[in-house]
Amino acid sequence: MSHPSKVTALVPAYQAAEFIQATLDSLSAQTWPHLEVLISVDVCDDGTYEICRAHADRDPRFHVVRQQGERLGYSGNCNFLIAHAESDYAMLAFHDDLLAPTFTAKLCRVLDQRPEVVLAFADTHLSNVDGSEEHWEFTDLEGLETPRQRGMLMQGRPPLWWVPNRGMFRVDRARTIGGIKPHRADEFSVDYPWLFHMSLLGEFARVPEVLVHKRYQPRSLSRGWEFSLRQHFEVTASCMRELWNAEIATEDKLAIARPLSDRLRRMEEQIAGKKPPLMTRIRRRLRIRSRLRRWWSRYR
């Protein structure tokens, strides 16, 4: 790029007074010089806004907005921030995450050097509420260059799909999606359809080192989810919506839609507590028998 890439860290904050200061400090410690931090404090009743405001008074790169009236919720708060990012790249810096000082510089360098990449991300170290630790690395998308390849992988909800959500993305491409959309299961896994759609627009690039420290809090949003079949059904249906709205070839949409629609049908059958129709069960048995015959003829 002809000018130094500008990055905006987007901080959707809510009821975070107990832990957000460490997150703000990690953002102030970033080594990339062309960084600004935009914080949106949703309607809450603790001291989150006051802490953020005091930090912004000490660091002029920080800008704080206090939401008034009705609460935006997680997706609404993220969308507010994305809409107001005036930069080449942006990253969702969650209010309970700590970023290594070189996080912004290393991910920004990837996007600068590789125009085919829409999102760059790093590995994550997780601290659970119970004191246990985990290492998260998402490698499944590596080497997948076409929208169909990436879409076929992401529609299957691969393990650790959420790791790239703590990455850096191109603002212009993210806005073509229309934001992080809620669905009929409220805010359950709303990041998944967003990342699924992003994967259709370009490649994801992994920086293979731990640059994010995720700290689960007792009141973290995802800790209160039911993780029910109905919730997963609504999220998968939301992915179908994102697929048809994506700027990719119709042939690719059809190829990705087939396994996605199959999964939706199976979920619907389970939710309804019904067996599949007779002809569907017969076709499945015939397919299994055909695969067994091929296997037997190959290895006998």
Instruction: State residue 183's pLDDT score.
Output: 86
Q: Looking at residues 39-53, what average pLDDT do you find?
A: 95
Q: Check if the beta carbon of residue 92 is closer than 8 Å to that of residue 140.
A: no
pLDDT at 300 over 70: no
Closest C-alpha to 243, from 182, 291, 198: 198
Angle at 44 between CA 38 and CA 46, to 5 degrees: 100
Max Cα separation, the chain? 75
Q: 165 near 191, Cβ under 8 Å?
A: yes
Tally of CB atoms within 10 A around 207:
18
35 has which bridge partners? 7
- Cβ-count burial 237-272 (b if 16+ within 10 Å, e if not): bbbbebbeebebeeebbeebbeebeebbeebeeeee
Q: Which DSSP helix (H) or strand (E) runs through 196?
A: helix 191-201
- The per-residue pLDDT for range 144-199, each reduced to its tens digit, is 999 999 999 999 999 999 999 999 999 999 998 988 988 888 888 899 999 999 99
Architecture field, domain 7-225? Alpha-Beta Complex (3.90)
CA distances from 169 to 65, 115, 154, 223, 296 (A): 22, 11, 17, 26, 48
Question: What letter represents residue 214's amino acid?
Answer: K
Amino acid in the structure at residue 151:
G
Per DSSP, the three-state class of 180 is coil
- Mind listing the pLDDT tens digit for each residue in 241-290? 999 999 999 999 999 999 999 999 999 998 888 655 555 555 666 666 66
Q: Where are the domains of the chain?
A: 7-225
Q: Which of helix, strand or coil describes residue 14?
A: coil
Written as one string, the DSSP assignment of 59-125 is -TTEEEEE--SS--HHHHHHHHHHHT--SSEEEE--TTEEE-TTHHHHHHHHHHH-TTEEEEEEEEE
pTM reported for the whole predicted model: 0.85
